[in-house]
Structure 1
Amino acid sequence: MTTGTGADTAQPRPRGRRRARRAERPWIDPRDLWSESLAGVLARPVRSALTTLGTVLGIGTLVITIGVASTAANQIVGRFDALTATSVSVVVPAPAPGSTDPALVGWRGVDAVERLAGVESAAALSDSQSTANVQVRANDVVAPGELSGQTLAVVAAGPSLPAAVRGTMATGRFYDAGDIARHERVAVLGDQAARLLGIGDVRHAPAVFFEGQSFTVIGVLGGFRREQRLSTSVILPPTTAADRMGLKDVTRVLVNTSLGAARQVARQAPIALAPGHEDALTVVAPPDLSKARKGVQGDVDGLFLVLGLVSLVVGAIGIANVTLVTVMERVGEIGLRRALGASRRQVAGQFLAESTTIGLLGGVVGAALGVVVVVVVAAVKHWTPVLDLRLALGAPVAGALVGLLAGLYPSLRAARMEPVDALRAPS
């Protein structure tokens, strides 16, 4: 009986102690915690503003770097696509020596290519090893002690060559179908060739001399975005080149396509140029740039992401330092709260809430500032801004998380203070 009574009387005591412990350390209402943390932040407005500024700079730098990096990568890839992903070349093999078979591709074969869907411009080109290094002079008088001329390449091309190489006439004009039909002895110089020969103006019909023949220069072609080697060449009409230089057969066809149509045109162009003999032609088409695009954007994003994270860490260290200083300055307040019944968890929660509030405010302001800067930079550069909505929405959350992590150690230190020691500490 005695043992049973002792057991019965001993059972309620732990439950009573647990209830007493819960009564001594009640959970604080979230609204009260928010109001206390906000009061703590506003109690020192200048310090809080400076602390928030560190987070603003960190989050703002993160948003700016990633936004500008994405915008720049998109611009780089777009230009790369425009210059490379739309260029197709068809190489025509030279006929066997002594062969009487007709050429696989004629000068009029380009017309069939231009009718293909997605083709913007096309031009036939003829060159050879024998005309790759020709002595060209700007006059027919050879003076002692002076250079006799320049070594340039001589090529034949169709009248649509300026569009095919995406060039512009620096001066004069390009020969037309009439010049070709009349076998006119005219020439167009590449801009570098004209500079080497000292020809800058064609209004007075200057002439160039090579292979014992003269040709009237009617224009200078420059601004090559394809086939830059033609800038140091003398370009002749097909009929004139066949008569005077032996350049009769088409060796290459240059094709420009709309963005995204290059692969299709590369399959169809040989059939249009040489029906039934398309396998004899070699097509040089641009590679698939999807992997290159992702690689460029990933590399640029990764570089700027590291810079943004470094700035964010600097802001987090600033929050941690200021929060720790605040804890040391409010030792008396912490002791009073502990003496009035506040638990360690409640004290830690208050300081965590204050640091999180500072981080959240800094995240909101930094994200807004970063978006504005990205848009302004893109507008100044005439780019299309590329902004990830997830980044803009996640930046405030990242700021709050940074503030939470930065305030973790100071909050734990405040929670470990004993009420008696805190009240005895000098204020």
Structure 2
Amino acid sequence: MASPLSPARLRSSDLLRLGGTGLRARPLRAVLSSLGIAIGIAAMTAVVGISSSSQADLDRALAALGTNMLTVTPGETMMGKSATLPDTSVSMIRRVAPVLSATATGAVDDAHVYRTDKIPQAQTGGLAVMAAELGLLKTVGASLADGTWLNAATARYPAVVLGWDAARRLGNVPAVYMLGRWWTVVGVLNHVPLAPELDSAALVGWQAAGAYLGFDGHPTTVYARAVDAQVEAVRAVLGPTANPQNPNEVKVSRPSDALAAQRATNATFTALLLGLGAVALLVGGIGVANTMVISVLERRAEIGLRRSLGATKGQVRTQFVAESLLLSLLGGAAGVLLGYLVTGFYSATQDWPTVVPLWALGGGVAATVVIGAIAGLYPAIRAARLAPTEALAAA
């Protein structure tokens, strides 16, 4: 007795060709359907990208306000006297994992800065002299208006960098006079919004301050930058870290209010982006479903003929699902590319950084494929249920 015939299985390459043939048979409809999906995904990608770029610009502006910067200063002892920070406090703070950078300045109370050696010592002009670590500019976000910053060489010798207000008051001088010695002016700072005390200060190297000005090596202000999400946690440990023996003798600044505003803004942006993305995907899915339903109605004769020639219900279902997936994939890829280009153009006009999250690029294509599969499932099932004689008779 002869064994019953089993239907041939469709390979992946067969499904790809079959789905492509269905789309090529009606190119205008396929293009318009893909265009509808592409516009929806492009709108989602562009909105996500433009919002993310705007958020990146806002984060950059908020970072300039020092949202993640904390300062550590000496407090008072139990006897009401001024405390001091250990000379190891900066190195200890740098060991805290979420701390990105830490640096310090130390007040040199016995030294004053003068334009010439002819000015009476009592006329200090309110200008402070501070020892500064080499990493100060990076941590506090300062920049130079002229000259250079201290380096490993000049920090050991009589070289000084003036704050912008100190330079304005002293005038354009090549050197200043401090504690019986001339100090070469090697640079001038711009205004430092995050550390305004530096504006009216003469900054010298840590080693030079100890060698020439009698500096005791104890920092008076420690500046620390921390990971945004860990600012509060870092603040809680800065006191015990800076002065383990007497943590109650340490003052730590509170996080900036701008940090709370930044987090609230990020949460709002996230909710907005998710909502817009869901709407765009829903619109794209409806378009795919509509296209595939119409395709089934128009291709009843083809379906009946294929069934008559031995195609199984599963093969018919797979064919229409494959067409739906191809249609969605083409539209999703085109939409992501178009959305990225729109984001780049708009960001360039606004002088923003171009930021398109990877989840928006990859997720846009992946989501359209998933939506396409779901949207094409009902039309595929409907096509598979058509009896060959009914389909041919209706055609």
- Scaled by the length of structure 1, what TM-score is found? 0.53
| Unmatched runs of 5 consecutive residues or more in structure 2 | 85-105, 111-126, 142-161, 173-190, 197-219
Q: d(CA) in 2 for partners of 1:278 and 1:114? A: 24
Deviations 1:226-249 (A, max 9, x none): 799xxxxxxxxxxxxxxxxxxxxx
CA deviations 1:197-243 (Å, max 9, x no partner) are: xxxxxxxxxxxxxxxxxxxxxxxxxx996799xxxxxxxxxxxxxxx
Match of 2:207 in 1: none
Q: Deviations over 1:172-192 (max 9, x none)?
A: x965599xxxxxxxxxxxxxx
Tell me, yes or no, if the aligned pair for 1:89 and 1:285 is still in contact at 8 Å.
Answer: no
Distance 1:351 1:341 in 2: 17
Matched, 1:70 2:87: no
Corresponding residue of 1:156: none
User: Where in structure 2 are the equivalents of 1:61-140 lying within 5 Å?
Assistant: 61-83=43-65, 84-86=67-69, 88=71, 108=109, 111=128, 113=130, 115-116=132-133, 118-120=135-137
SS of the equivalent of 1:387 reads coil
The answer to whether residue 392 in structure 2 is matched with residue 410 in structure 1 is: no
Q: Determine which structure has more spread, i.e. the larger CA radius of gyration.
A: 1
Tell me which residue corresponds to 2:41.
59
Q: Which of residues 359, 363, 366 is equivalent to 2:335?
A: 366
CA distance 1:108–1:407, shift in 2 (3 Å): same
CA shift for structure 1 position 338: 1.4
Partner residue, 1:386: 355
C-alpha spacing 1:323/1:314, structure 2 compared with 1 (3 Å): same
Tell me if the contact between 2:62 and 2:262 (Cα under 8 Å) persists in the aligned partners.
no
Partner of 1:146: none
Equivalent position SS for 1:341: coil
Counterpart position of 2:365 = 396
Equivalent position of 2:31 in the other structure: 49
The equivalent position to 2:322 in structure 1, one of 353, 358, 369, is 353
State the 1:341 CA deviation: 1.6
1:335 paired with 2:304, answer yes
Question: Are the equivalent residues in 1 in contact too, given 2:108–2:129 (CA < 8 A)?
Answer: no
Give the alignment's Cα RMSD to 1 decimal. 5.1
The residue that corresponds to 2:123 in the other structure is none
Any unmatched runs of 5+ in structure 1?
Answer: 1-11, 94-98, 123-158, 164-172, 179-222, 229-253, 272-276
Quickly say closer, same or farther: Cα 1:411–1:162, change in 2 above 3 A: farther
Q: For 1:53 and 1:423, how far apart are their aligned partners in 2?
A: 32
Paired AA for residue 85 in structure 1: N
Taking a change above 3 Å as real, the CA distance of residues 51 and 162 of structure 1, as seen in their structure-2 partners, is farther
> Pick from 6, 30, 53: which aligns with 2:12?
30
- Asked whether the equivalents of residues 70 and 387 of structure 1 are also in contact (C-alpha less than 8 Å), the reply is yes
Q: Supply the distance in 1 between the matched residues of 2:331 and 2:107 (Cα, whole angstroms).
A: 69
Deviation at 1:285, TM superposition (A): 4.5
2-structure distance, mates of 1:288, 1:267? 21
User: C-alpha displacement at 1:32, in angstroms?
Assistant: 3.1
Shift of 1:279: 6.5
Identity within the alignment, %: 29
Distance 1:111 1:119 in 2: 16
Tell me the CA shift for residue 416 of structure 1: 0.7
Deviation at 1:354, TM superposition (A): 0.9
Paired residues of 1:37 and 1:353 also in contact (CA < 8 A): yes
Matched to 1:67, the amino acid is G
Q: Which AA in structure 2 matches 1:26?
A: A
Aligned-residue offset at 1:48: 0.8
What is the alpha-carbon distance in structure 2 between the residues aligned to residue 382 and residue 361 of structure 1? Answer: 32
Contact 2:68 2:259 in 1 (8 A): no
CA distance in 2 between counterparts of 1:106 and 1:336 reads 92
Aligned residue pairs total 292
The separation in 1 between residues aligned to 2:380 and 2:262, in whole angstroms, is: 46
Structure 1 contact 33–353 (Cα < 8 Å) conserved: yes
Judged with a 3 Å threshold, the aligned counterparts in structure 2 of structure 1 residues 111 and 302 are, in CA distance, closer, same or farther, namely same
Secondary structure (helix, strand or coil) at the match of 1:407 reads: helix
What CA distance in whole angstroms lies between the structure 1 residues aligned with 2:250 and 2:15? 78
Retained in 1: the 8 A contact 2:239–2:250?
Answer: no
Instruction: From the superposition, tell whether residues 259 and 380 of structure 1 become closer, same or farther in structure 2 (CA, over 3 Å).
Output: farther
Q: 2:292 aligns with which of 323, 346, 350?
A: 323
- Say if 1:77 and 1:296, in contact at 8 Å, map to a contact too: no
Q: Does 1:300 align with 2:269?
A: yes
The DSSP-based 3-state class of the residue aligned with 2:386 is coil
Counterpart amino acid of residue 368 in structure 2: G
Q: Compared with structure 1, are the counterparts of its residues 46 and 256 closer, same or farther at alpha carbon in structure 2 (3 Å cutoff)? A: farther
Determine the structure 1 residue equivalent to 2:283: 314
| Letter in structure 1 aligned against 2:255 | P
Displacement, 1:321?
A: 0.6
